[in-house]
Structure 1
Amino acid sequence: MRTIYKGLLALLGSVMLTGALLLPVQTAHAAVSEQQQAANKLSELLSHTQTITGSFSQLTLDSTGTQLQEAAGKMVLQRPGLFRWHTDPPLEQLLVSNGKKVWLYDPDLLQVTVQKMDQRLTHTPALLLSGDVSQISENFTITYKEAGSIIDFILTPTAKDTLFDTLRLSFRNGVINDMQLLDAVGQRTNILFMNVKVNEPVAASQFVFEAPEGVDVIEDEE
């Protein structure tokens, strides 16, 4: 179970040819326009948010709907590329990014892994909420639907080398409400955000990590 969650944190991406050539040019242009409209709308929502703090609950299910893992914790994010993602015991882990490096600390294993930040939005969902919004349309095909105060965005990675097949972001009254990731084997992770506050001052110390004494530090150079 811990391996499943660690993999998720290390994240914390049929065309029908028959008849396709018969589609009018206007339809293709409309599709591009809708994609750009969705990307612009999502970028606008994200760019207005410089900091995010709150708590989360997380549920991971396999392709049959069987629960694999349940967790909860707190998060702090700041644009560009800074985040702190702390999962409560009994599966306690801490993921910290200063925009250049990422520290994954596992208190039970007395181990911290240090990696260079992967700037690809398709590899780090937390970076999608805190990273460079100008890259969104380059990394994803985006659609959205709006119902009252709720806007749902479906993001499909354009690259093949991704850790998820689709990602749904849901906003309520302009604030992130929940996220769902679906991978290639049908595993689904639902993350619900609670007590969310945006654009409040955040201490720089939130994005600094110092390994406790006696902890093994593993430097991943890749």
Structure 2
Amino acid sequence: MLTRATLLVALLCVPLWAQSNDAVVRRVDDHYNHLSSLRARYVEQYSGMGMNKTETGTLLLKKPGKMRWSYDEPVGKVFVLDGKYAWFYTPGDAQAQRVPAKELDDLRSPLRFLLGHTQLKKELENLTVTPEGSGFRITGVPKGMEQRVKLLTLDVTADGAIQTMRIEEVGGAVTGFVFSNMEENVPVKSSEFVFTPPVGVTIVKGLPPV
């Protein structure tokens, strides 16, 4: 009887061109469905609306439904998804923005499928898979974001870990994320996903600026 580990090794030994799209997608699903938490460094690059900027920080994921993007600069800039609401705050702003998670239309939200029971075929329209280096490139359009996102591209390793994410918007803007130093199933406190606005900062409903 083949164990899961034996099956994975067998799949990895098959030439990239010979592996079916479904097998690759299932491997990504399987990889993240066996995670309870993830910590990683990220580099975020944005170009559009006359701007080009690069930001870095630390990403934390915890099931079910929790996510935190802590930016290096300015210290204290965060995007927090606590399972019910998404919070956006930049130090110095007079307001913190809060959006119900079910209404979230943010370019980081495609990673939310990592927080539940991952099924990429249900999350992406027009899904394609092609060999890319020693891994694969998966493309598609996130369901529910068709009016904003033209194409989502994921570069994944041979064992199904996401290394990069690139979002091309309908208006031409492009946002890319590169992930490194990934630590899986690490201890993560629930308090990491609690956002408390600083004294004097008001909470408003809305979507974050670019």
TM-score normalised over the length of structure 2: 0.74
Q: How many residues align?
A: 184
Take 2:23 and 2:106, find their aligned partners in 1: how far apart are those partners?
Answer: 20
Query: Structure 1 residues 202, 119: closer, same or farther in 2, change over 3 A?
Result: farther
Q: CA RMSD in A?
A: 2.8
2:65 alignment partner in structure 1: 81
Take 2:141 and 2:41, find their aligned partners in 1: how far apart are those partners?
Answer: 26
* Identical counterparts, % of pairs: 23
Which stretch shows the higher mean deviation, 151-160 or 77-86? 151-160
1:181 alignment partner in structure 2: 167
Query: Structure 1 residues 106, 147: closer, same or farther in 2, change over 3 A?
Result: closer
Q: Secondary structure at the match of 1:118?
A: helix
Amino acid in structure 2 at the alignment position of 1:80: P
Stretches of structure 1 that go unaligned for 5 or more consecutive residues are 1-33
Amino acid in structure 1 at the alignment position of 2:99: Q
1:131 correspondence with 2:116? yes
Report the alpha carbon displacement of residue 45 of structure 1 after superposing the two structures with TM.
Answer: 2.6
Take 1:98 and 1:204, find their aligned partners in 2: how far apart are those partners?
Answer: 9
Take 2:22 and 2:147, find their aligned partners in 1: how far apart are those partners?
Answer: 22
1:206 alignment partner in structure 2: 192
1:15 alignment partner in structure 2: none
Report the alpha carbon displacement of residue 145 of structure 1 after superposing the two structures with TM.
Answer: 2.3
Take 2:176 and 2:84, find their aligned partners in 1: how far apart are those partners?
Answer: 27
Q: Is the 8 A contact 2:86 2:98 kept in 1?
A: yes
Q: Secondary structure at the match of 2:64?
A: coil
Query: Structure 1 residues 91, 186: closer, same or farther in 2, change over 3 A?
Result: farther
Correspondence for 2:28 among 26, 38, 42 = 42
1:102 alignment partner in structure 2: 86
Take 1:152 and 1:57, find their aligned partners in 2: how far apart are those partners?
Answer: 19
CA deviations 1:178-215 (Å, max 9, x no partner) are 11111112221111112111111211111111112121
Q: Secondary structure at the match of 2:204?
A: strand
Report the alpha carbon displacement of residue 38 of structure 1 after superposing the two structures with TM.
Answer: 5.1
2:138 alignment partner in structure 1: 153
